[in-house]
């Protein structure tokens, strides 16, 4: 068993000495060490199983199938009833990076049901950002921010990093900590009991899970935490984010593992769509067309995915929420009203499908969405067509689709190099989810040499690399120099094997690994 002396924590960046000391107290380090020691073998099993499963998908030609062992074991099980303070799931603010005090404060002063405190998709995990993020959440949990009391503020919905991310500035026995466990341990140790006392959780979003084993691991971590922090069983609650096609086939069994700690299910679009490329990278029948016109929640494979989650949620009494409206509202009143109208139309359809909530990024969107919940009600339940779950949409690949994917990928990588996990593009907040689908499609189209609809010949590396240089020049003329991102994007696209996560790739860079 590692001793406390084997825990190495990087020195704080200049100016963050006080925050560093507040986060890494002796008791917090002991909690982190004990949790890691208890679960390190299980975490390694998770990584090994992901590799084994990917190898099987690459070599066997088999496809995942929807299964539900839990339904055969106990047909009547349901998740534990939600605490009163967590029942309202209608509107969460999403992509709220905890390192940005202004953004976090505005979100916690909004009338949203919850705030997704996002250490994952919308956050760049530099050492500075991590320390600020952890410390800001601590301040929120103790009431040391300009916000209502915890009992009246939106619920702090803590979203740790996914299991693919690593915290290079915290080492145990010379090995860097999993980012997911680092975020979880520090947030729960410092804030868990305070949130529980206020009847506001602690509540989490669990990103990018892929299998029953992973849900079981999180449940074990929750039980261990509750025992260690002397909280009642079931105090910790978590939204299971179904962001992976393999997870979509195991929704019911994953929910069963988390039934004592469930806060429901969440269905997004871009990470889920990108997982088709990641998991079936060698298979041309899973080539996705231009995402702007073909990949929407109305596409049959995404409709089947949402309805499958809704069916499980209704049967097991778990709320199901839909994805995020990423629009950032402009000052121009006419344009703002037009955007609100389009968002309301899309969210109306989700309410009619039967969702219990969804996310938005801009707090100014909340009044219109609250009004929507007052007047729109779910329609008749529609059974999911599970035969469509793996049926990717047919459509064209165009030069315009290549250009948009290149621009989003370049701007995201450039933002990361500047320590930012999100950026605004064409009036929408973009994060790693849209960057993931964008760079994944570029790799897939090159790998399978798919034909271009509006030009002669297939998509090739040469064609995409030419588009990258063109986009760099166009963006520079528009005032943004993304030339630093071009070599990295080319490396992602030319890779012989598909690189599973853009964030894993970028986290190898000094901007994240090195403590300034």
Closest CA to 416 of 297, 351, 511, 352: 511
Residues 6+ positions from 276 with CB-CB distance below 8 Å: 245, 286, 288, 392
CA–CA distances in Å: residue 173 to residues 8, 29, 177: 8, 13, 10
Determine phi and psi for 263, rounding to 5 degrees: -120, 20
What is the DSSP code (8-state) at residue 508? Answer: T
* CB of 272 closer than 8 Å to CB of 212: no
The angle at the Cα of 322, spanning 367 to 46, to the nearest 5 degrees, equals 135
Q: Could you give the CA distance from residue 46 to residue 403 in angstroms, rounded to a whole number? A: 37
431 is catalytic: yes
DSSP string computed for 159-181: EPPPTT-EEEEEEETTEEEEHHH
426 is catalytic: no
3-state secondary structure of 238: strand
Q: In what side-by-side order are the strands of the sheet with 166-172?
A: 7-9, 166-172, 175-178
Strand blocks (E) in 320-408: 320-325, 357-360
- The helix or strand, by DSSP H or E, that contains position 83, with its residue range, turns out to be none
Catalytic residue among 159, 200, 316, 439: 159
Catalytic residue among 291, 431, 439, 447: 431
> What is the largest distance, in Å, between two alpha-carbon atoms of the chain?
66
Q: Could you give the CA distance from residue 418 to residue 325 in angstroms, rounded to a whole number? A: 25
User: Could you list the active site residues?
Assistant: 159, 431
């Amino acid at each position: 068993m590692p001793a406390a002396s084997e825990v190495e924590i990087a020195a704080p960046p200049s100016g963050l000495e006080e925050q560093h000391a507040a986060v890494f107290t002796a008791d917090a380090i002991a909690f982190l060490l004990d949790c890691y020691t208890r679960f390190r073998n299980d975490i390694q099993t998770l990584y090994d199983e992901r590799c084994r499963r990917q190898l099987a998908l690459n070599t066997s030609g088999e496809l995942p199938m929807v299964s539900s062992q839990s339904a055969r074991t106990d047909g009547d099980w349901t998740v534990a009833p939600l605490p009163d303070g967590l029942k309202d799931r209608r509107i969460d603010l999403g992509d709220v990076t905890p390192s940005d005090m202004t953004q976090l404060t505005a979100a916690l002063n909004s009338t949203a049901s919850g705030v997704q405190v996002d250490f994952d998709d919308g956050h760049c995990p530099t050492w500075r950002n991590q320390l600020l993020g952890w410390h800001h959440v601590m301040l929120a949990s103790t009431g040391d921010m300009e916000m209502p009391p915890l009992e009246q503020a939106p619920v702090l919905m803590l979203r740790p990093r996914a299991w693919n991310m690593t915290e290079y500035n915290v080492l145990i026995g010379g090995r860097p900590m999993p980012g997911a466990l680092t975020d979880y341990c520090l947030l729960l140790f410092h804030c868990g009991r305070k949130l529980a006392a206020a009847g506001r959780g602690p509540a989490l979003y669990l990103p990018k899970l892929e299998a029953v084993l992973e849900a079981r691991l999180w449940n074990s971590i929750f039980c261990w935490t509750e025992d260690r922090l002397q909280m009642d069983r079931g105090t910790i609650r978590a939204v299971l984010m179904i962001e992976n096609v393999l997870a979509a086939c195991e929704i019911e069994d994953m929910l069963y593992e988390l039934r004592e700690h469930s806060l429901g299910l969440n269905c997004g679009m871009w990470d889920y769509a990108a997982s088709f490329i990641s998991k079936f990278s060698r298979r041309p029948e899973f080539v996705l067309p231009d995402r702007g016109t073909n990949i929407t929640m109305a596409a049959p494979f995404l409709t089947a995915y949402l309805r499958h989650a809704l069916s499980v949620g209704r049967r097991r009494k778990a709320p199901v929420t839909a994805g995020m409206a990423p629009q950032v509202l402009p000052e121009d009143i006419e344009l703002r009203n037009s955007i609100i109208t389009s968002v309301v139309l899309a969210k109306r359809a989700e309410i009619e499908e039967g969702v219990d909530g969804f996310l938005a990024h801009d707090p100014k969107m909340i009044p219109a969405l609250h009004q929507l919940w007052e007047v729109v009600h779910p329609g008749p339940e529609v059974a999911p067509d599970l035969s469509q779950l793996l049926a990717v949409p047919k459509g064209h690949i165009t030069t315009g689709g290549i250009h948009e994917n290149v621009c989003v990928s370049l701007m995201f990588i450039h933002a990361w190099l500047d320590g930012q996990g999100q950026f605004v593009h064409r009036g929408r907040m973009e994060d790693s989810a849209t960057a993931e689908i964008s760079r994944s499609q570029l790799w897939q189209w090159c790998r399978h040499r798919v034909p271009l609809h509006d030009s002669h010949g297939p998509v090739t590396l040469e064609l995409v690399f030419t588009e990258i240089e063109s986009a760099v020049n166009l963006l520079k003329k528009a005032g943004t120099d993304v030339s630093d991102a071009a070599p990295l994007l080319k490396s992602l696209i030319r890779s012989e094997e598909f690189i599973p996560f853009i964030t894993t790739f970028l986290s190898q860079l000094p901007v994240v690994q090195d403590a300034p």
